[in-house]
Amino acid sequence: MTRLSIAIPSKGRLKEKSEAWLAKAGFKLRQKGGGRGYSAELNGLDNVDVMLLSAREIAEGLIDGQIHVGITGEDLLHDLSGAPETDFDVLRRLGFGGADVIVAVPAAWLDVETMADLEAAGALFRERHGRRMRVATKYLRLTRRFFAERAVGEYRLVESAGATEAAPAAGSAEVIVDITSTGATLKANDLKILRDGVILKSQAALTASLKAPWTGESLKPLRIMLDGIEASARAQTMCRLEMSTPVAEADLSEIGLIPIHDRAALCPSELAREAAKSLAERGVQTVAITTVEQVFEAKNPVFENFVKKVS
């Protein structure tokens, strides 16, 4: 028997946003041992183990199968995994923690605008200096993979331990591969992103391990969790219409509504005003439009697709 293990970021804005996102789906986090505890509980999910770890630890745990489900950055997942398609499955991208993994060069390199230009510059650099141009990065695997795909070979990697964007100015590298959200720090260090140098558009993601031991005991709470998450996501695009007089379900369906009963229906938010107008034309005197928190459906394609991958 294997209990579902869930890992949540342990600090910073990623932790705060992850907690808020889970709470919106109906799973409020309660940290054990106060603010310094590294285990927690999620209301509404029984018989699960909830851990608070760094984003990197979560990515490593998902890849090696020590954690069933976790929230971490896609950049870490793709950099640490040698085979993303068999190591993990991104269940839902969360819309926060966004940043791009990019290739940047000194702004003064006027003739270098693309990866092809970078390869040509690398060959010229080696001819002039007798060594390969250095690329500083924390993303070693991502960089090798991307440069190979773009047929760039005139370089050598320098693993960055500090502020990567400062490497060219410090003389420790000529090029960098780093993560950026606004590009402001790159500009402050007189760097520019190559036109085709976006390696990955990353954001925080709810991710499941394909290497973890999945059993009925671990899949059952995962279904409960994903039902809540999908219901919350679905609700963001819908509203509820309350009618002062009954309307036949067939008539509600005819104008694109999802009947709840003869005085209430669900509707895509962008169609709500037109639906209210159509109901008025059918004799309904008053229609109230309200928001909804969650909309559950019997089927959950996200869960069903994942089960197929681990069966």
Does residue 90 have a pLDDT over 70? yes
Domain housing 274: 238-298
| pLDDT, average across residues 68-96 | 96
Regarding whether 194 and 157 lie in a shared domain, the answer is yes
Answer yes or no: is 78 within a domain: yes
pLDDT tens digit string along 19-77?
A: 999 999 999 999 886 655 588 999 999 989 999 999 999 999 999 999 999 999 999 99
pLDDT value of position 1: 55
Number of folded domains in the chain? 3
Query: What CATH number is given to the structural domain containing 11?
Result: 3.40.190.10
Among 177, 201, 225, the domain-final residue is 201
Query: Residue-wise over 139-148: b if at least 16 C-beta within 10 A, else e?
Result: bbebbbebbe
CA distance 242 to 287: 6
pLDDT value of position 32: 82
Answer yes or no: is 219 within a domain: yes
Separation of CA 21 from chain center: 12
Regarding whether 290 and 244 lie in a shared domain, the answer is yes
Structure tokens at 116: 């092809």
Q: Exposed, middle or buried, 165 (CB in 10 Å: 0-12/13-18/19+)?
A: buried
| pLDDT, average across residues 303-311 | 96
| pLDDT, average across residues 95-124 | 96
pLDDT tens digit string along 158-205?
A: 999 888 999 999 999 999 999 999 889 999 999 999 999 999 999 999
pLDDT tens digit string along 248-286?
A: 989 899 888 999 999 999 999 999 999 999 999 889 999
Does residue 292 have a pLDDT over 70? yes
Q: What is the DSSP annotation of 48-112? A: EEEEEE-HHHHHHHHHHTS-SEEEEEHHHHHHH-S-HHHHEEEEEE-S-S-EEEEEEEETT-TT-
Does residue 107 have a pLDDT over 80? yes
Regarding whether 70 and 38 lie in a shared domain, the answer is yes
Query: What CATH number is given to the structural domain containing 278?
Result: 3.30.70
Does residue 209 have a pLDDT over 80? yes
Regarding whether 91 and 210 lie in a shared domain, the answer is yes
Regarding whether 93 and 140 lie in a shared domain, the answer is no
Structure tokens at 64: 């090696």
CA distance 127 to 209: 46
Does residue 2 have a pLDDT over 90? no
pTM of this structure: 0.88
Query: Residue-wise over 86-116: b if at least 16 C-beta within 10 A, else e?
Result: ebbbebbbbeebebbbbbbbbeebeebbebe
Regarding whether 210 and 86 lie in a shared domain, the answer is yes
Instruction: Please provide the average confidence, as pLDDT, over all residues in the chain.
Output: 94
> Residue 72 in contact with residue 9, Cβ under 8 Å?
yes
User: What DSSP character marks residue 114?
Assistant: S
| pLDDT, average across residues 135-147 | 96
Does residue 138 have a pLDDT over 60? yes
- The order of strands in the sheet holding 264-268 is 258-261, 264-268, 238-243, 287-291
Percent of the chain with pLDDT over 90: 90
> Residue 287 in contact with residue 247, Cβ under 8 Å?
no
Neighbours of 304 (CB within 10 A): 11
Answer yes or no: is 257 within a domain: yes
Residues recorded for the chain: 311
Regarding whether 73 and 214 lie in a shared domain, the answer is yes
Query: Residue-wise over 209-234: b if at least 16 C-beta within 10 A, else e?
Result: bbbbebeeebbebbebbbbbbbbbbe
pLDDT value of position 149: 95
